[in-house]
Amino acid sequence: MIGYILRRLVALGLTLLAAALVIFVVLEILPGDPAAVTLGLNAAPEALAALRAEMGLDKPAVLRFFLWLGGLVTGDLGQSYTYRVPVLQLIAERTAVTLPLALMAIALAMAIGIPLGMLAASRHGRLADAGVMAFAQAGLAIPNFWFGLLLVLVFAVGLGWLPAGGFPGWQSGFGTALKALLMPALALALPQAAIIARVTRSSMLDTLQEDFVRTARAKGLSEGTTMRRHALRNALIPVVTILGLQFSVLIAGAIIIENVFALPGLGRLVFQAIAQHDLIVVKDLVMLFAGLAILINFAVELLYGLIDPRLRQS
């Protein structure tokens, strides 16, 4: 077992290193000079040279790669070319928007999707079932940026209840900040809610055929109690799996939604950094996302290894 974990750890280290190398090389090949972007069309050559030295761009590429790697290990992600502040600070600021947004969206999706799925399962083949399925179809078909714009038109422009976009920051008070995240989270949650409703419905229908449900009914429990107390718990396992699988879709959706609602989140940071050639931010963020994906994979493999001894032999 120890040998297995060590082997996996070495593989993990090599994978992370390979990812770092690929990211660095790809961004190195991109044409464009961050210093030229900062100083514009009238820049004097000596000003460009001074700025390149300030940004550390005058060192050879190999040295810069190892300096960057060393920084990643010690938690020093360097300075943003655009903003000229530590990248770590930028990532922390933006995570404070994106993470609550994603969590709110997941919570909303579950709060909408699970009850609807249960309703459809309990009214299988009747009008309510058809209604929920139609909602799920629409929720998957409607692009979430368009739905976001629609929300803005109704609740911000029309009714004036909510801000049309932007984020006043957590220092403006918890309520104000949540208010700014409500519409974007709803727009982000819609397709997820549709998927959850469908999965809940089908796994609920499967579970209702099981023996233990029949036993519960035979004990004389009401249909509602049977569903909530016995069937739902088992039916939710595939829903949780789907939520895990949908995580990357959620992040991709967040990038679009953050742009629609002008939210200063990680998604918009990646977007801006690419447009402004803030390559160090792009490098760090892509590495962060890749690293997370690799680590999650590693954890899953370890767990499988613990569960199934046969996998450790390979």
Partner 1 sequence: MTTRRELLAGAGLAALAAQLPVVALAQAKDSVTIAQTLEPPTLDPTSGAAQAIREVTLQNIFEGLVKIDRTGKIQPCLAESWQIADDNVTYRFKLRQGAKFHDDTPFTSEQVKFSFERAVAPDSTNAQRQLFAPIAEIATPDPATVVIKLKQPTANFLFGLAWGDAVIVAPATAANNKTNPVGTGPFKFVRWNRGDRLELARNDGYWGEKPALAKATFRFMSDPQAQVAALRAGDVDAHTNLSAPEAVPQLKADAKLKVTIGGTEGETVLATNNAKPPFDNLKVRQAIAYALDRKAIALGVYGFDVTLIGSHFSPLHPAYVDLTGTYPYDPAKAKALLKEAGFPNGFNCTLKLPPPSYARRSGEIVAALLAQVGINAAIEPLEFPQWLERVFRNKDYDLSIIAHTEPLDIDIYARDTYYFQYKDPSFKELIAKIAVTLPEAERNALYKQAQEKLARDAVNGFLFILPKITVANAALEGMWTDWPLPVTPLAELRWR
For partner 1, the binding residues (CB under 8 A) are: 30-34, 36-44, 46-47, 50-51, 53-54, 82-85, 90, 93-94, 149, 152-153, 156-157, 160, 163-169, 259-265, 268-269, 272, 274-277
- Return d(Cα 208, Cα 205) in angstroms, integer: 5
Residue identified by tokens 């969206």 is 105
- Return d(Cα 67, Cα 47) in angstroms, integer: 24
- For residue 161, how many other CB atoms are within 10 A of its CB? 11
The helix-helix angle for 127-141 and 174-208 (nearest 10°) equals 130
- Return d(Cα 213, Cα 189) in angstroms, integer: 31
- Return d(Cα 278, Cα 82) in angstroms, integer: 6
Q: What is the dihedral of CA 100, 105, 108, 109, to 10 degrees?
A: -150
List b or e across 262-291, with b for residues whose CB sees 16 or more CB atoms inside 10 angstroms. ebbbbbbbbebbbebbbbbbbbbbbbbebe
Q: Tokens for 223?
A: 């249909």
- For residue 264, report the phi and psi dihedrals to the nearest 5 degrees: -80, 70
Q: Which residues contact 66 (CB under 8 A, 6 or more apart)?
A: none
Q: What is the dihedral of CA 141, 146, 151, 154, to 10 degrees?
A: -110
CA torsion sign for 121, 124, 125, 128 is: negative
- Return d(Cα 105, Cα 192) in angstroms, integer: 8
Query: Looking at the DSSP assignment, which residues form a beta bridge with residue 79?
Result: 86
Strands (E), 150-258: none
